């Protein structure tokens, strides 16, 4: 009987300890130098990336927003894996590659910095009916939204 009570107490302590260490975020800052994009179709595709990616990340971490939290900085460095000017922009080559930084001036244990890359190549994407889609045939808006959501999902998961 004592062992069960002790084990339950340890489990409760471990549960509250992991919740106490969830990284709280005070600010999300996304930067992407869209001026480096020369292809007109690519520039149109990525036009609202900073605002859209920031909103996507914030929606996933809404329960972690705290005035005293860490800064989450996303520096998007590249917009496509195949960035060959002669071939032009293609949906199936679209990708987001960037550096993610968690900067907590109050708790250095929360510091994190890593490169994150998401690409439509190799993704399993389905339409509203659940049917698999060929990435090259995706509408631009769906491809864009898929990349932004995948990037935001990975950022939020890493904060766990």
Count CB-CB contacts under 10 A for residue 25.
22
CATH 3.30.160 fits 25-158, yes or no: yes
Q: Write the pLDDT tens digit of every residue in 105-160.
A: 999 999 999 999 998 877 777 777 877 777 777 788 888 898 999 999 999 999 98
Count of CA atoms in the C-beta half-sphere (13 A) of 47: 6
Query: Phi first, then psi: what are they for 27, rounded to 5°?
Result: -155, 140
Q: Write the pLDDT tens digit of every residue in 51-77.
A: 999 999 999 999 999 999 999 999 998
pTM for this prediction = 0.77
The first and second tokens of residue 82, run together, are 């195949």
Contact 83, 110 (CB under 8 A): no
Contacts of 160 (CB under 8 A, 6+ apart): 22
């Amino acid at each position: 009987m004592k062992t069960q009570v002790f084990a339950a107490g340890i489990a409760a302590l471990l549960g509250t300890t992991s919740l106490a260490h969830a990284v709280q975020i005070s600010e999300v800052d996304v930067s992407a130098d869209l001026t480096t994009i020369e292809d007109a179709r690519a520039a149109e595709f990525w036009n609202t990336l900073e605002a859209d990616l920031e909103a996507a990340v914030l929606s996933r971490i809404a329960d972690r927003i705290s005035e005293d939290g860490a800064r989450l900085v996303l520096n998007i460095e590249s917009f496509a894996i195949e960035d060959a000017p002669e071939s032009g922009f293609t949906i199936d080559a679209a990708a987001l590659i960037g550096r993610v930084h968690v900067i907590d001036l109050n708790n250095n244990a929360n510091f994190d910095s890593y490169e994150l890359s998401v690409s439509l190549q190799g993704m399993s994407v389905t339409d509203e009916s659940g049917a698999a889609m060929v990435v090259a045939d995706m509408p631009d808006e769906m491809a864009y939204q898929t990349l932004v959501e995948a990037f935001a999902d990975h950022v939020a998961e890493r904060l766990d």
